[in-house]
Amino acid sequence: MASLVRSWIPLLILQSFLVAVAFGSKEAEQFSEALLLKPLPDRKVLAHFHFENRAPPSNSHGRHHHLFPKAISQLVQKFRVKEMELSFTQGRWNHEHWGGFDPLSSMNAKPVGVELWAVFDVPQSQVDTSWKNLTHALSGLFCASINFLESSTSYAAPTWGFGTNSDKLRYGSLPREAVCTENLTPWLKLLPCRDKDGISALMNRPSVYRGFYHSQRLHLSTVESGQEGLGSGIVLEQTLTVVLQPETTSVETNMQPSWSLSSLFGRKVVGSCVLAKSSNVYLQLEGRLGHESKNVDTEIEAHKLWKNADFDLSLKPDRVLRESSGLLFIFDIDKSSDSEPFDLGLNWKLPSKWSCQQAPLQASRFLMGSGNERGAIAILLKATESQEKLPGRELTDGRCTIKANIFQIFPWYIKVYYHTLQIFVDQQQKTDSEVLKKINVSPSTDKVSSGMLEMMLELPCEVKSAAISIEYDKGFLHIDEYPPDANQGFDIPSALISFPSHHASLDFQEELSKSPLLSSFKEKSLVRSYTEVLLVPLTTPDFSMPYNVITITCTIFALYFGSLLNVLRRRIGEEERFLKSQAGKKTGGVKQLLLRLTAKIRGRPIEAPSSESPAAESSFLSTKLIFKIILIAGAAAAWQYFSTDK
Amino acid sequence: MEETSDRLNPTTDTSGIAPEFDPKTMRSTKPGLKRLFITTSVLFSFLLGVPFLWKSVEIYRSPLPFHDIDSLSDQIESTPLQFPCNFHAVFVGFESKDPDKLRSQIQDGINQLTHQSSQCGSCNFSISVTVQNQADQCSETLAYNPSMCSYRCGVIKRNEFGVGLDDTVDESLNDVFSGCSENSGKTYSVVVVNKENANGEDEVIKAVVGKRRHAWVVGSGLEESYGDIVARVSEIFVKVFMNGGRDEESIHGEFMPVGSDGKIVLSFSLLNSNPRDWVYDWDFQRIDDALLAPVTKALAPIANISVESQVLYHTPKSSFSSWDEKLQSYIFRTSDLPFFVNSNEWHLDTSAGASGRSKILQFVVYIPSGKECPLLLQLPNGEISKTNGFISPMWGGVIVWNPENCDKDSESPSRNTISPQDLEQIVEIFLGQFRQLFGFKSEAIYTSGLGTYKILPSERGFTEWELDVLSRKHTCFNLHSCSTTLGSLSRLVRSLPRMIIKDEIGEQVKYSLKAAKLAQSNASLGGYSSSASSSREARSLAENAFFHPSIMSVSYFSYEHCFAVYSPFFLPVVAHIVFAALREWKGYRQEKAKYLTWLTRKKTA
């Protein structure tokens, strides 16, 4: 019996191993698509496209793929990227009207231009090399000048101010990068259906780029398999957030505009991407918590939710979810087809008003001072209305406080004096020890690295406003370092304000289906907001200056040299004598001049008093002239020959 | 100081001596040299400064060995690279043949076939012949090369040979010739067996080329038609072993789909032209492990091959196809092929893994959509292509794979996986295409004027003698490309005299030339793999030098620029100095002449 058991055990182990292998290989790459629509309080509509592509742990990453983009997988393999986010943004997120305290805004409100951060899985010494190679690869992949982030003056290594604590993190941003359709096309190439089918078919370029805000984001993270000898999995999340203005025909100004997908995008959805595991459209309505609704089980109650006195939807939602601040309608687009396209519309019947949840403090940043020599940067934090209602307050020493992290990169030519840092709370200057909890400064080195400031403020809860100012000197750049449009000024990248004790998440009362979009909303995300980009004018030189300097100095030298030589060489006494003898010979200067003038007018040569025959002189003159002409022609020919031949 | 001041009162001193003194044409004192000396010394110091200035505005140019580059390209042009090969012919069952005579006949046949011209990458052959008579006694030609293997007499039995499968015969021949040393080139052998005509019927002569480096010709009554046999033996040597059975005209020898860093990336893509009709997937990992790994391993001496695969969707072809009633299928013709690859929608080129200058070969399996299924390729002669695919040299190949059932059964798209059998077929077609990209034929029969030869295919895709041919051609191609690259670099450098050339470039050129020399000497010694690797290095270094970033950037400091910077100073100053010197010289001569006339006047007086 014992021997029987013993002989069975290896077999069982083998079998379980085989099963594991079979399951491991069975787990396939998954793709899902979703679109979230959300009317905004200021009569605009937000559309948020969300695509997620998961590659299970495997050893063949970068080599064999079915749905997952090979290029991304090869990037991850080659540069050993652990986590990475790349965003292309045009326009600025309106924190006041579009929200600042929900997962959507905390994840998708990005600074203008390109922002890239990455965490690497390489030894500390190789992180910078990996970053540089990655920027080059990405700039090729996305048709953008991300490779400008390669130089050490344009990126920084945040320690704790960014929110992700890792010493292998690098962060850089290019505020001036113009984002357009040439960046969207390669981004779409990473989707299995591109924009041929499914939700992404809505991305009509003119309507997408006509919007007020446009942010295209790519986030990838690797998931450790936990198994020995098996590579890690990759999750690729691609989102596109646009804020559009629906065309309105209504005369009433306080009436929200009605819209449909076809009026917003000019296109309709004619079916899901066949490769997607799930493809849903969500409609989020804020500020209308299912009033007096205890149970929505009955059909009439459910019907009331999407066709009521306030508004009605053109399609019946498949499910309705409630969360703390509003309703979420879920539509499945699998059923739509060519003959019956999915065209969701929202029709408002009554004027309606609501407000978005805002971050505890609203941040803005501006420049102070004038002139081309020095200035100051100020960051102003203003309390919002919703501040009192928010959770996340902390009690330290019996006081209620709000924590705020500020992360700012300074280019090296903005020479910041960190000792001039001043903090005002409610217009009263505070000492550092009162409000500053933590600060980390890495000063810039000229032409080598950029400066970085990370600080954590602890403000009292009842604060109305807080301001931080810091002075700087403007540096001088070498003439080669100016960009082509130097007179436009130089950009200081956005500062990032994050609230470490505030986390945004949507919590739904019901248990969810496993939709990647909703589960990402359910996760707690750090509340952050980016400030404006500042434009600093620097002294720009006259770019033709070197040549002017060369010409002027050379002329002065030549003059000096010439006159010195003349002084050394000339016989002044002799010349004076010569002039005197001339004066004695001639019959007065004025008469001579008149004689010459009349002769010129008559066109006849002056009768030479000399004994030489005029013919001989003229022939002599002409030979001299011919000789000169030949000399000059010869010189020109030689110059031509030497300059063209080589 | 005032040398001319004495002209004021010349008569005061000299009136007594010379009454006819004319102050206009004469002077009584020696003209002074001070001013002339000053101006000429300034002029000379300027002239002396010119070389220093020239040196200071000179840009750095690493000296390139132009002469060596020229001599390398001349050498490659004039004397094509040849590898030593040993041809060994064994005649079994021949009664009265003199091996030396046979040898000279084979030599004549080979010379006739090669037209005495030596192509790059061909063989510098030596021939040995063994004749074994019916009583198993041997006579041999005197071996030129002492290291060459000798055939042990009587091992091949004339009547037992060639029975059974060709593969086993091939293996047995390998045992027979296993003692060969490979020191000086490869040894190729052809065994001719003259069988007894037992049945009395006229047996067909059978010629087979094996997987290794052996071929055999079996038949009866060969003794009578031995001239024919000798011609066939020399044909096997030249057409098959030396040239790899490829038509010289079809694909030029310079086509070698290997990147300059010696890497090939095989990128396989499965294109679902319309996933709404059906979606096909494949298990490429298994194919890679089972079928492609041996091929990549076999080709390892020539190139470092990596394999990757992807599945793409919504990728219609860009040419049209027409419905053919007779065949009940859609037809596309060879004239449509240039438009078949849809570079707008087929985003194949996303290989970040292929760094630098690796060669990417695309192999595309195209699954037609429901509207064009089944899709067949019609050849110009009206027949339907058996492989249903085509190649594009240096790009890759396309295979059109039709699903078994072209009817869409339901609304929702069906998800399928290509069965392993179908995948194996696809890989077979791919291997054929891959061989074609290297210039080999994909058929198992080689036909020439004298008859047909059966060629045993290897499961590794390439037989050993084919790999030898590739290796020779590859070395040759690398050296050729190295010499042309270096030649263009030297022409470029010589045409731009103000271009900065860094030391790195000079070093790369030097090492490249060194590696090329090494490859040549290794090739003449018969080291196939060593010459291939050093030739690859030579090519890669040459390309590195040519594509060096410092050459690519605009670092061209022109004469015009130099002139513009320095002329504001030197033009006015030099003009001053030169004119002053000239005037002084002129004045001095005038004055001196005056003085001389005065002197002569005084003398005569």
SS (H, E, C) A165-215: CCCCEEEEEECCCCCCHHHHHHHHHCCCCCCCCCHHHHCCHHHHHCCCEEE
Residue with tokens 């990549």: B296
More confident of the two residues A327 and A16: A327
pLDDT at res. B553: 58
Cβ contacts of A308 within 8 Å, gap of 6 or more: none
Q: How far apart are CA B358 and CA A466, in angstroms?
A: 58
Residue A74 to residue B124: CA distance in whole angstroms = 46
Question: What does the pLDDT read at residue A292?
Answer: 43
Look at residue B256 and tell me whether its pLDDT is greater than 90.
no
Per-residue pLDDT for A12 more than 80? no
In B288-352, beta strands by DSSP E = 304-313, 322-324, 329-333
Q: What is the pLDDT of residues A41-69, one digit of tens each?
A: 888 999 999 999 998 888 777 688 888 99
Strand A169-174 relative to strand A213-223, pairing = unpaired
Tell me how far apart the alpha carbons of residues A135 and A177 are, in angstroms, rounded to a whole number: 14
Residue A234, beta-bridge partner list: A55, A222
The whole-angstrom separation of Cα A422 and Cα A445 is 23
Report whether B23 contacts B5 (CB < 8 A). no
Contact check, Cβ <8 Å, A69/B350: yes
Nearest by CB to residue A64, choosing from B42, B284, B572, is B284
Instruction: Tell me the one-letter amino acid at B259.
Output: G
Measured in whole angstroms, how far is the alpha carbon of residue B358 from the centre of its chain?
14
Chain B residue whose CA is closest to A556: B569
B285 contacts chain A (CB < 8 A): yes
Q: Is pLDDT of B572 > 60?
A: yes
**What pLDDT is recorded for position A366?**
93
Distance CA A242, CA A263 (A): 15
Distance set, CA A488 to CA A329, A475, A482 (Å):
47, 16, 11
Contact A233, A65 (CB under 8 A): no
Nearest to A174, CA basis, from A110, A104, A239, A80:
A110
Q: What is the pLDDT of residue A213?
A: 94
Q: Per-residue pLDDT tens for B324-382?
A: 888 888 988 888 888 888 888 888 876 665 566 788 889 999 999 888 888 888 888 88
Answer positive or negative: Cα dihedral of B224, B229, B231, B234.
Answer: negative
Distance CA A254, CA A355 (A): 14
Name which of B357, B372, B275, B255 is nearest B323 in CA terms. Answer: B372
The answer to whether the Cβ–Cβ distance between A189 and B347 falls below 8 Å is: yes
Q: Identify which of B543, B537, B549 has the alpha carbon closest to the alpha carbon of residue B488.
A: B543
Q: How is B392-419 classified by DSSP, letter by letter?
A: ETTTEEEEE---S--S--SSSPEEEE--
**Rounded distance, CA B271 to CA B285, Å?**
17
| Contact check, Cβ <8 Å, B569/A574 | no
Residue among A225, A277, A286, A232 nearest A98 (CA): A286
* pLDDT tens-digit map of A185-242: 999 999 998 888 889 999 999 999 989 999 999 999 998 877 777 778 899 999 999 9
Q: In this complex, how many residue pairs, one in chain A and one in chain B, have their CB atoms less than 8 Å apart?
A: 113
Flag if A562 and B572 touch (Cβ within 8 Å).
yes
pLDDT tens digits, residue range B187-225?
787 888 777 765 655 566 777 787 778 788 777 766 677
Question: What pLDDT, in 10s, does the model give residues B272-290?
Answer: 988 888 889 988 888 888 8
Q: What pLDDT band is residue B248 in, cutting at 50, 70 and 90?
A: low
Average confidence score pLDDT of chain A: 82
B501: which DSSP letter?
A: B
Q: Please check whether residue B405 touches A, CB under 8 A.
A: no
Tell me the C-alpha distance between A509 and B30, whole Å: 121
- pLDDT (tens digit per residue) in B45-94: 888 988 988 888 777 788 888 888 888 888 888 877 778 877 878 877 77
d(CA A68, CA A61) in angstroms, rounded, equals 10
Q: What is the pLDDT of residues A440-468, one digit of tens each?
A: 999 999 889 999 999 999 888 888 899 99
> Taking CA B465 as the corner, what is the angle to CA B462 and CA B467, rounded to the nearest 5 degrees?
50
CB distance A60–B569 less than 8 Å?
no
The pairing of beta strand B122-132 with beta strand B82-92: parallel
The pLDDT of residue B144 = 52
B39, A562: Cβ pair inside 8 Å?
Answer: no
Look at A326-330, A428-432, A564-568, B182-186 and tell me which has the smallest mean pLDDT.
B182-186
State how far residue A310 is from chain B, nearest Cα, in angstroms.
Answer: 38
- Is a pLDDT exceeding 90 seen at residue A376? yes
Among A174-183, A396-405, B295-304, the least confident range: A396-405
Whether the CB of B413 is below 8 Å from some CB of chain A: the reply is: yes
Q: How far apart are CA A474 and CA A410, in angstroms?
A: 11
A577 in Cβ contact with A410 (< 8 Å): no
pLDDT at B184 (0 to 100): 58
pLDDT of A635 strictly over 50: yes
Give the residue among A505, A448, A522 at the shortest CA–CA distance from A481.
A448
Q: Quote the pLDDT of residue B143.
A: 55
- Residue B557's pLDDT is 63
pTM for this prediction = 0.80
Q: Would you say residue B171 has pLDDT above 80? A: no
Which of the pair, B586 or B19, is modelled with greater confidence?
B586
Q: Which residue has the higher pLDDT, B253 or A537?
A: A537
pLDDT, mean of residues A16-23: 36
Q: Is the pLDDT of residue A387 over 60?
A: no
Q: Distance between CA A291 and CA B354 in Å, rounded?
A: 60
Residue B581 confidence (pLDDT) above 80: yes
Nearest to A413 by CA among A543, A537, A545: A537
Distance CA A104, CA B86 (A): 76
- Pick from B286, B569, B571, B588 the residue to mutate for testing the A interface (most A CBs within 10 Å): B569
Q: Tell me, what's the pLDDT at A236?
A: 94
Nearest to A68 by CA among A77, B98, B289, B336: A77
Specify the pairing of strand B359-367 against strand B263-272: parallel
Q: What is the pLDDT of residue A6?
A: 39
> What letter does residue B19 receive in the DSSP assignment?
T
Nearest-angstrom CA–CA distance, A276 and A54: 11
What average pLDDT does range B399-426 have in this prediction? 82
Q: What average pLDDT score do residues A373-400 get?
A: 76
Residues 6+ apart with CB under 8 A from B62: B501, B502, B503, B505, B506, B507
Using the structure block, give the residue that is written with the tokens 């992180």.
A127
Residue A613 reports pLDDT greater than 50? no
Instruction: Retrieve residue B417's tokens.
Output: 């996986």
Query: Looking at CA atoms only, how far is residue A208 from chain B in angstroms?
Result: 22
d(CA B304, CA B533): 11
C-alpha separations of A49 from A218, A237, A523, B48, B349 in Å: 12, 10, 18, 75, 26
**End-to-end CA gap in chain B:** 29
Residue A293 has pLDDT above 60, yes or no: no
Confidence of residue B101 (pLDDT cuts 50, 70, 90): confident
Nearest CA to CA, how far is A72 from chain B (Å)? 8
| Cβ separation A562–B569 shorter than 8 A | no
Smallest Cα distance from B59 to chain A, Å: 16
Structure tokens at A543: 């770019």
Residue pair A104/A286 in contact by the 8 Å Cβ criterion: no
Residue B230, C-beta contacts closer than 8 angstroms, at least 6 positions apart:
B102, B105, B106, B109
Q: Which residues touch A484 (CB under 8 Å, ≥6 apart)? A: none
| pLDDT given at position B180 | 58
The answer to whether B342 faces chain A, any CB pair under 8 Å, is: no
Closest CA to B125 of B114, B139, B133: B114
By CA distance, what is A66's nearest residue in B? B311
Question: Own/partner pairs for B52-56, CB < 8 Å, 24+ apart?
Answer: B53/B566
Residues in A closer than 8 angstroms to B38, CB to CB, are: 568-569
Q: Do A555 and B284 count as a contact with CB atoms less than 8 A apart? A: no
Contact criterion met (CB below 8 Å) for B222 and B194? yes
Which is higher by pLDDT, A549 or A303? A549
Interface ipTM above 0.90: no
CA-atom Rg of chain A in angstroms: 38
**pLDDT on residue B356:** 67
**In angstroms, what is the C-alpha Rg of chain B?**
40
What confidence score (pLDDT) does residue A171 get? 94
pLDDT for position B1: 38
Can you tell me the mean pLDDT for A365-394?
A: 81
Tell me, what's the pLDDT at B338? 86
Peptide bond into A123 cis (omega under 30): no
Lowest mean pLDDT among A344-353, A491-500, B108-117, B425-434: B108-117
Residue A300's pLDDT is: 64
User: pLDDT class for B252, splitting at 50, 70, 90?
Assistant: low
* Among A509, A605, A33, A70, residue whose Cα is nearest residue B312: A70
pLDDT score of A333:
85
Q: What is the mean pLDDT of residues B168-190?
A: 69
The verdict on B585 touching A (C-beta cutoff 8 Å) is no
Which pLDDT tens digit goes with each residue over B533-561? 888 888 888 988 888 877 765 555 667 77
**Is the pLDDT assigned to residue B8 strictly greater than 70?**
no
Secondary structure class of A104 (helix, strand, coil): helix
The pLDDT, as a whole number, for residue B9 is 44
Structure tokens at A93: 């997120």
CA separation for the pair A195, B581 (Å, rounded): 81
Pull the structure tokens for residue A541.
Answer: 């030189």
- The per-residue pLDDT for B4 is 43
Banded pLDDT at A423 (limits 50, 70, 90): very high
